[in-house]
Structure 1
Amino acid sequence: MEDPLVSEYITHEHDVLIIGAGGAGLRAAVEVSAAGAKVAVISKSLLGKAHTVMAEGGVAAAMGNVDDRDSWRVHFADTMRGGQYLNNWRMAELHAREAPERVRELEAWGALFDRTSDGRILQRNFGGHRYPRLAHVGDRTGLEMIRTLQDHGIHLGLDVFMEHTVVTLLKDGARIAGAFGYDRERGRFHLFRAKAVVLATGGIGRAFKITSNSWEYTGDGHSLAYHAGASLMDMEFVQFHPTGMIWPPSVRGILVTEGVRGEGGVLRNRDGERFMFKDIPPLYAAQTADTPEEGWRYTQGDKNARRPPELLTRDHVARCIRREVREGRGSPHGGVFLDIAWIKEKLPHAPEHIKKKLPSMYHQFKQLADIDITQEPMEVGPTTHYMMGGVKVDADSQMSDVPGLYAAGECAAGLHGANRLGGNSLSDLLVFGKRAGEHAATYSKQNSLGAISPEQLASTEKWALAAFERKASENPYSVQHTLQDVMQDLVGIVRHEAEMQQALERIRELKAASQRVGVDGHREYNAGWHTALDLQNLLTVSEMVARSALERKESRGAHFRDDFPEKEKEYAGFNIVVRMGAGGEMQLTREPIPPMREELKQIIEEMK
């Protein structure tokens, strides 16, 4: 007999519930639906507004259409090297092997990629990739991916709940049983019963002040998994994209795709110097151009040329920009200049070429800031962009250590290690979104719906509505803004132990403040209430980042400490894993990376 407390909520039943409607969530939904299982997708925002659309440069896949020396082996080695060998090597292998087929599959479903002169999918250069590898649609590849997956998924059949937010995951004993949330428009609670749940909620960028991420990126999936008892790892590795717009204010934080540099854009300081030539890591010296002329030839497809230093890994480029600013050679507003207009010296029809290759970049900055990138440089600086850390998953199935709970995309960890290569995010979505959906569908066929705890529903509802009961309380926006300042200033692109200890103390204070947050009005259209609920997720992931960064006493990939500026062998062979302890406290452990298969070791040695 159904419990009356359960029945009072708007209840939905599905085989698989997918939380997140970006590339990973939609690709998982397509796979679940194709397997004949009933699937629902929950979108915090509107369908089609996923952060995937902001991935502009392309999807990395070793198809060899532009340079036939490329292969999955080279892609695997590049990914492992970029991740400083902290990657889950099995995920890196699967990703490199399967990405070409996932791209061709997307094309078969209607994606319109740019083409080579003989009709194959065109591929461009990108930072950290040895050969031109990014299949692209101008500079709006993510948008085309979302369009294609939405069209394909809707025709297969799936239920979509737009503008809904999940506040907790539900369990039946050890295994997952569904989720509990509310619709943002009316504020009504919804109970989602499911045999399996896939988390595809993206990253944590809104924990920082300066970010390319939109408002939805509050670490929901990371926090939901943690509070459900799942393990997370690599939370110290937050990627700061080197080129986000910093001026004028109308475009501050908007990403300038790496494709600008892939098409010939160069970085200059206030003196006009291409400063990236000053600091080339020994690891990349043999692959990096010695002269601007050689770098230009590389961007134009010369197979014998080496790549320009602007296409080194993102962590390195971001730190070089920060150095120029700190040493007084920055632009007027605290960044540097990214200049693609200079190519008019090389190409007679440069403006038309730029508009064709980078149409979104041209139009959005012209319309939003009256900057013509074909005629003048952009003022850019590092911006919080991507989270390498996330839910610890099985490489083949994407299941977490909570039975029935899967994760894919940015909220899952493993593929990227200490630093993600540009373009690997979109192929990550396709490869592991498919795998998560496939295995979640299989799991759902082998299990029945789990029981729902009325006590958990009642306590969650009470917690979610508590902000309405408080008087003379903290303002939720003020608490969030303070947290963003703390993370930006104390746990940002360069870290130090004393500052991170200070950040943890401030986070403890803000946790207490979050318990005093109050909101006015009622539950319909109440943005203050939504922000108050987001605070738990932001505070949880911020603490994870700070604690994990304190634990790793070295500099590696996107994690740089000026009190430990070198890589240390002691930290080379393990990931830092975060779990909730029995008493509710946050626990960190060091877990060794399993030994790599011998043939994969040989591939890496050959590529060196």
Structure 2
Amino acid sequence: MTESPSNGSDTVDDNRRTTGHERSTAGIENRLETEGDPGFAGDLEYEVVTTPVLVIGAGAAGARVAIELAESGIDPLVIGKRDHGDAHTTWAAGGVNAALGSLDPEDDWTIHAADTFNEGHHLNDPDAVELTAREMPDHIRELAEWGMPFDRTDDDEINQRYFGAQSYRRTCFVGDRTGEAMLETLVDRARELEVPYRENVMITRLLSDGRRVDGAVGFDMETGEGLLFRTNHVVLAAGGFSALYHRHSSRDDENNGDGQALALEAGARLVDLEFVQFHPTGMVGDRYGEQWDGRLVTEAVRGEGGRLYNSEGERFMERYSPDQMELDARDVVARAIAQEVREGRGTEDGGVFLDVSHRDDQYVRDRLPSMVERFESLGVDITEEPMVVGPTAHYTMGGVDIDFRTGETGVDGLYAVGETVAGVHGANRLGGNSLAETVAIGKLVGAHVAAAVTDGDDDPTLTDGQRALAEREFEALRELAASDGTVTPTALLEDLGDLLWDHAGILRDDAGLREGLAKLDALRERTADLRVAGDRTSKSFEYAVDLSMSLTVAEAMLRAALERTESRGAHYRTDYPDTADDWRVNLVVAVEPEGLSFSRRGVGDPSPAVRAALEADHELDYHHLE
């Protein structure tokens, strides 16, 4: 057999794919080695790549883990499903939280933590919350040192804006493109450190016996070639699962449960899957076109004074939250909009109006440039007229169960971080905390993994059994690509999205959830007649791979929502509308021989300092914006 290139990753130059020892325009040299002999499974040849640490996911969380590893002298391999630098982080527009006190000096990290606990309805992991809140001021300053162009006050302090349910102006921002600016900053820093990366790679299975992980299997999405990664350390940073819903704020080909499904199959546990955040303001309406349906209208619009009106011209949040108005918690505002629409006071498209035109035109253009540009391209001048918005599936609080000081999952060698995990946000996420979590916890996980890497991890072993498992996976992928039934993956994913929207959306009940599970069983049966149009480089094949993972996560989420017989945060049961003290527990999901199992686990208490902040009962005075 011929020797494969010694590089384990590909680099990109002006969007053209290159291989071997070539370097990207940023000067990242890939120092990973590929085994000399490729493997074969059926007619599918596969490449074997060796790396001490494999980071699955190239958004902010994965990038921050990789930076910490590189600064510790470890060469990880970062892989992503899209072009390098094109991750879902870029869609987080409004800002990132840190108690800097730039505008409100009385703010501090304990109040940030208290707001996070309150928004999470006290199901949050105390370690996760306090680590994030305490460390974020330093991380914001670190990002600024690395070149992140935060908006500044006249005194050259990092500017901060109001975000929903926050006691003070705490959200740092770069106009309304904060996530994009953060990812650019992290990618630039990773390039300075020459962190190896490989793009357009999809992982379909972790090599695990349930106790430890020995690598991962996937394929190159551009060539269709199989990929076997040998490694003793895998970090999952693959996002959430909000795109399972038919209206969502993600792209259709991301946030579809990859990380959660991979972890569950590998032997890890999931927690809090019933909590799905519906952002109050997604784009709705024929005027915008199908491609924009559900796309996020950043909370920054309301943070800068945007007002919500129903079709009768009423500023309806006065009825639901007279003190916090449009900047109440996301679940409160989303349910209020849903109620207005249900009672016939919505627009023809099933939304409401979001209006920021009362603010000075130039102020809106300065603070919300991306929103202005987007809507202008659709024929709407938001400085003069309102937007039509409605709730959209946006973020998943549930995910992999980890130790937040280490990222450990309970499966030796497997770690997780970012939206792939649960814990920081509890039953509902505080706006601006998603980006905060990625860097605060990402650094800790990276440091722990770096300390766990030994000299032997440069040449990890792969047992005959694990190689056989990998080759069975390659054969399964080959058979999947050859599926010639009558039902497309796209059609099944669309039906799954409708199913979840109808039966596990903003408002839930016993009958609807049970009907959803029955429909899910029927949908799963239809996968036996799957038709994949195209080869292993096609979108059809990608969606077919997504489908199996999405069905697993959808079932776990529906069953968790059925199990939790109360309303708390983003989980609202119309048949159990009250919050129950005995349900202040996390629901833990595991795989047993007979299928998914659910158990309850008590929630820890905050530290004395944070308890004092909770007892002080800080609260946003919305009317500062009036």
**TM-score under structure 1 normalisation?**
0.91
Paired residue for 2:574, among 527, 551, 562? 562
Equivalent position of 1:389 in the other structure: 398
Going from structure 1 to structure 2, the CA distance change for 1:447 and 1:509 (only over 3 Å counts) comes to farther
C-alpha separation between the residues in 2 aligned to 1:111 and 1:29? 18
Matched residue SS, 2:314 = coil
Of the structure 1 ranges 184-193 and 468-477, higher mean CA displacement relative to structure 2 is found in: 468-477
Kept in 1: contact 2:210–2:266 (CA 8 A): no
Matched residue SS, 2:454 = helix
Q: Which amino acid aligns with 1:392?
A: D
Alpha-carbon displacement from aligned partner over 1:150-180 (angstroms, at most 9, x marks no partner): 1110110122111110000113672121111
Kept in 2: contact 1:418–1:557 (CA 8 A): yes
Equivalent position of 1:145 in the other structure: 182
Matched, 1:105 2:142: yes
Equivalent position of 1:64 in the other structure: 101
Matched, 1:437 2:449: no
Equivalent position of 2:152 in the other structure: 115
Matched residue SS, 1:341 = coil
Going from structure 1 to structure 2, the CA distance change for 1:590 and 1:2 (only over 3 Å counts) comes to farther
Equivalent position of 1:333 in the other structure: 349
C-alpha separation between the residues in 2 aligned to 1:467 and 1:518? 9
Paired residue for 2:288, among 246, 249, 253? 249
Paired residue for 1:360, among 363, 367, 370? 370
In structure 1, runs of 5+ residues without a counterpart are 281-287, 290-307, 344-349
Paired residue for 1:591, among 580, 595, 601? 601
Alpha-carbon displacement from aligned partner over 1:440-461 (angstroms, at most 9, x marks no partner): 2222237632424122012211
Kept in 2: contact 1:37–1:441 (CA 8 A): yes
Alpha-carbon displacement from aligned partner over 1:400-420 (angstroms, at most 9, x marks no partner): 111111111111100000000
Matched residue SS, 2:426 = coil
Counterpart mapping for 1:194-593 below 5 A: 194-214=231-251, 215-247=253-285, 248-250=287-289, 251-280=292-321, 289=323, 308-343=324-359, 350-367=360-377, 369-445=378-454, 448=457, 449-452=460-463, 453-523=466-536, 525-572=537-584, 574-583=585-594, 585-593=595-603
The structure in which a higher percent of residues are helix is: 1
Q: Which amino acid aligns with 1:275?
A: F
Equivalent position of 2:214 in the other structure: 177
Going from structure 1 to structure 2, the CA distance change for 1:444 and 1:514 (only over 3 Å counts) comes to farther
C-alpha separation between the residues in 2 aligned to 1:189 and 1:419? 39
C-alpha separation between the residues in 2 aligned to 1:279 and 1:576? 30
Matched, 1:188 2:199: no
Equivalent position of 1:301 in the other structure: none
C-alpha separation between the residues in 1 aligned to 2:500 and 2:209? 36
Going from structure 1 to structure 2, the CA distance change for 1:2 and 1:22 (only over 3 Å counts) comes to closer
Matched, 1:92 2:125: no
Structure 1 residue 9: deviation in Å?
A: 2.5
Counterpart mapping for 1:149-160 below 5 A: 149-160=186-197
Q: Which amino acid aligns with 1:359?
A: P
In structure 2, runs of 5+ residues without a counterpart are 1-34, 619-626
Matched residue SS, 1:143 = helix
Structure 1 residue 518: deviation in Å?
A: 2.5
Matched residue SS, 2:453 = helix
Structure 1 residue 568: deviation in Å?
A: 0.8
C-alpha separation between the residues in 2 aligned to 1:101 and 1:358? 26
C-alpha separation between the residues in 1 aligned to 2:335 and 2:509? 15
Of the structure 1 ranges 500-509 and 234-243, higher mean CA displacement relative to structure 2 is found in: 500-509
Kept in 2: contact 1:324–1:330 (CA 8 A): yes
Going from structure 1 to structure 2, the CA distance change for 1:503 and 1:172 (only over 3 Å counts) comes to closer
Structure 1 residue 273: deviation in Å?
A: 0.8
Of the structure 1 ranges 169-178 and 215-224, higher mean CA displacement relative to structure 2 is found in: 169-178
Going from structure 1 to structure 2, the CA distance change for 1:6 and 1:88 (only over 3 Å counts) comes to farther
Kept in 2: contact 1:514–1:532 (CA 8 A): no
Kept in 1: contact 2:102–2:160 (CA 8 A): yes
Query: Number of residue pairs matched?
Result: 573
Matched residue SS, 1:522 = coil
RMSD: 1.7
Q: Percent identity?
A: 42
Kept in 1: contact 2:39–2:48 (CA 8 A): no
Equivalent position of 1:300 in the other structure: none
C-alpha separation between the residues in 2 aligned to 1:384 and 1:59? 20
Kept in 2: contact 1:171–1:450 (CA 8 A): no
**TM-score under structure 2 normalisation?**
0.89
Going from structure 1 to structure 2, the CA distance change for 1:496 and 1:108 (only over 3 Å counts) comes to same
Kept in 2: contact 1:3–1:454 (CA 8 A): no
Matched residue SS, 1:95 = helix
Matched residue SS, 1:9 = strand
